[in-house]
Chains A and B, each alone.
Chain A
Amino acid sequence: MSDRQMDGDKPSEHDEDVTLLRVPVSLDYDYSAGVSASRFLRGIEQGKLLGQRCPVDGRVYFPSRGSCPQHAVTFGDETVDLSDKGTIVTFSIVRVPSANIPLELPYIAVNVVLDGADTILMHVLDANPEDVHMGMRVQAVWKPREEWTTSTANILYFRAIDEPDADYDQYKEHI
């Protein structure tokens, strides 16, 4: 029994039976961001966090995709400037590697609600795993300005700030 990598288009030469053959494929995607996501990404390129308001219930979406998934309506052109401070609503300490996540293990995956937003942002926290908790107040730590691009990865990670924990009732609906 063997498990081997395919060599180009040729089956490899060997005597044993092959039971599993690895044949890597790769894909390059073309991605059109669209009007709304482009505005969001151009904002973050300038260090601005732009949310958008649902016309039905007035809630602020960040990141925004230009429409409300719940009410199936498009957002207008108005944007809402958000703070880079927020509250951790829930989290996990991850000890499982994934080929497409270039983070050292363990890392702390957090769901953050930015001040002024009504949706969660998934990001990472730079902290001692023993210290992280729900309701923790955090702020974004940004990459050096010259490295900013059109990506939420402009925020390196979040870090705890010296503020009292948020009250559970204030953020529990975002879990």
Chain B
Amino acid sequence: MAELTAVVGIGQTKYEAKRLDLSMPGLVRDAAEKALVDADCSWADIDAVILGKAPDLFEGVMMPELFLNEALGGAYKPMLRVHTAGSVGGSTAIVAASMVQSGVHDRVLCVAFEKQSESNAIWALTISAPFSLATVAGAGGYFAPLVRGYIRRSGAPEDTGIRVAVKDRENALRNPLAHLRLEDISFDLVANSPMLWDPIRYLETCPSSDGACALVLENESLASKRSNKLAWIHATEMRSEPTMFSGRDQVMPQATLDNAKNLYKKAGITKPREEIDCAEIYVPFSWFEPMWMEGMLITEPNQGWKMTYEGATALDGDFPVNMSGGVLSSNPIGASGLIRFAEAARQVRGIAGEHQVDGARKALGHAYGGGSQYFSTWIVDSAKP
């Protein structure tokens, strides 16, 4: 039987376009220090450090974990770096959790970051393989044709994506850490923003952010001594599939469906929409909210857009999604998945401030990456399983 594991500390930097006040080590240390304060721990209390970030090609710094480990108090301790493209923040939390669940360590620090001001993600994601023509400009270039495919098959109204963007950007106004906080956000502002990768508009797209997020995870014997509200990990799940194969459903990949099924099975959830109180989902382009509502089996195939349309995913809806403002409002890529996992934990701990869902007890954290081919998810709960 695996050790029960809880999230006892959460730290986040302020997310901004350019954190010129912090170096890369400063950025990760800022988030880690805040997580230690929240967990009432010192560096000496940490048994191991798990670090995640997106491809090294972004900042052009090879193996940054080697020089960041010392900024994270990791000298002489076990240290691992995780990478699974955009889902890496989620996978980092899952690897850290498995260290505790397996009984290998009692208390683990996990940190994920990206410093996009020092990076060129569009360049790094525009793959120019030898002997072929490069046509896909950045992640938006890859996902826009899939969004078009989703609209065609679901018959979703064309303004569904705009509605998601308005909702997430309104939520961000309640989150002081969010990067993009547009006071004048409105349907028309999003609708009239330029088409970047048709059908994806500028304001339906995530920003480029600097930032880091950190969690402290503990086993049951340590966590049970605490008197404050914790987030207990009920289940974690990771899945992958190839980027391209004949007949691959790129809009609704098998890996997301398998991931959701197994996650709920492990967590003892049979009716996810009713049993889960809120979710932080990886939505880098607005249309991925309805797509992943289906991909996470929250609703039936081709019905995800109705949840957005009917306000179910709003902060006061029956299934709030992206209470923090989501990836659309803050996107330090490598950290983005961990921020989703952290927000799920904040919600069930009741410490999400202005974007708290009243009475949230069970929450879903979700991340995906690559060509919709890596999925990392967890279920956290204010009570032990």
Contacts and interface: CB of A to CB of B under 8 A. Distances in A.
A22 B93 CA distance: 32
Interface string A152-175: 110100000000000010001111
Most chain B beta-carbon contacts within 10 A, residue among A54, A70, A94, A155? A94
B1 interface: no
Contacts of B120: 99
Interface in A20-54: 20, 25, 29, 31, 33, 37, 41, 54
Contacts of B245: 68-70, 119
Nearest to B148: A90
A92 B137 CA distance: 11
B96 to A, nearest CB: 30
Contact of B123 (A59, A100, A103, A168): A100
A41 B132 CA distance: 10
Given A69-B242, A94-B197, A95-B195, A101 B137 contact: yes
A153 B135 CA distance: 11
B140 interface: yes
A155 B251 CA distance: 28
Given A20-B20, A150-B131, A152-B133, A96 B141 contact: yes
Contact of B130 (A29, A92, A100, A172): A29
Interface in B52-111: 60
Contacts of B351: none
A151 interface: yes
B123 A173 contact: no
B186 interface: no
A20 B198 CA distance: 33
B198 A93 contact: yes
B60 to A, nearest CB: 6
A69 B5 CA distance: 36
A91 B198 CA distance: 9
B131 A151 contact: yes
A175 B149 contact: yes
A134 interface: yes
B133 A96 contact: no
Contacts of B146: 90, 175
A155 B250 CA distance: 25
A109 interface: yes
A94 to B, nearest CB: 5
A70 B146 CA distance: 20
Interface stretch (A5-13, A79-87, A120-128): A120-128
A97 B152 CA distance: 27
Given A93-B195, A109-B141, A41 B246 contact: no
B126 A118 contact: no
Contacts of B117: 20
Contact of A109 (B136, B153, B248): B136
A170 B383 CA distance: 50
Contacts of A93: 195, 197-198
B249 A90 contact: no
Contacts of A61: 246
A57 B20 CA distance: 54
B222 interface: no
Contacts of B195: 93, 95
A152 B137 CA distance: 18
Contacts of A63: 132
Contacts of A37: 131
Nearest to B199: A92
A119 B141 contact: no
B136 A122 contact: yes
A92 B198 contact: yes
Interface string A103-133: 1000101110000001110111000010000
A1 B120 CA distance: 21
A95 B198 contact: yes
B25 interface: no
A25 B133 contact: no
B246 A109 contact: no
Contacts of A122: 133, 135-136
Contacts of A172: 153
Interface in B294-339: none
B2 interface: no
Interface of B: 18, 20, 60, 117-118, 120, 122-123, 126, 128, 130-138, 140-141, 144-146, 148-149, 152-153, 194-200, 242-251
Given A69-B242, A151-B132, A175-B146, 20 more contacts: A1-B20, A20-B117, A20-B118, A41-B131, A54-B246, A69-B243, A70-B242, A91-B148, A92-B197, A96-B141, A96-B197, A98-B138, A100-B128, A107-B135, A109-B137, A109-B144, A119-B246, A123-B135, A153-B131, A153-B133
7 contacts: A20-B117, A60-B246, A92-B144, A95-B198, A100-B123, A101-B137, A109-B145
Closest 7 CB pairs of A and B: A175-B149, A92-B144, A69-B242, A93-B198, A70-B245, A59-B246, A90-B145
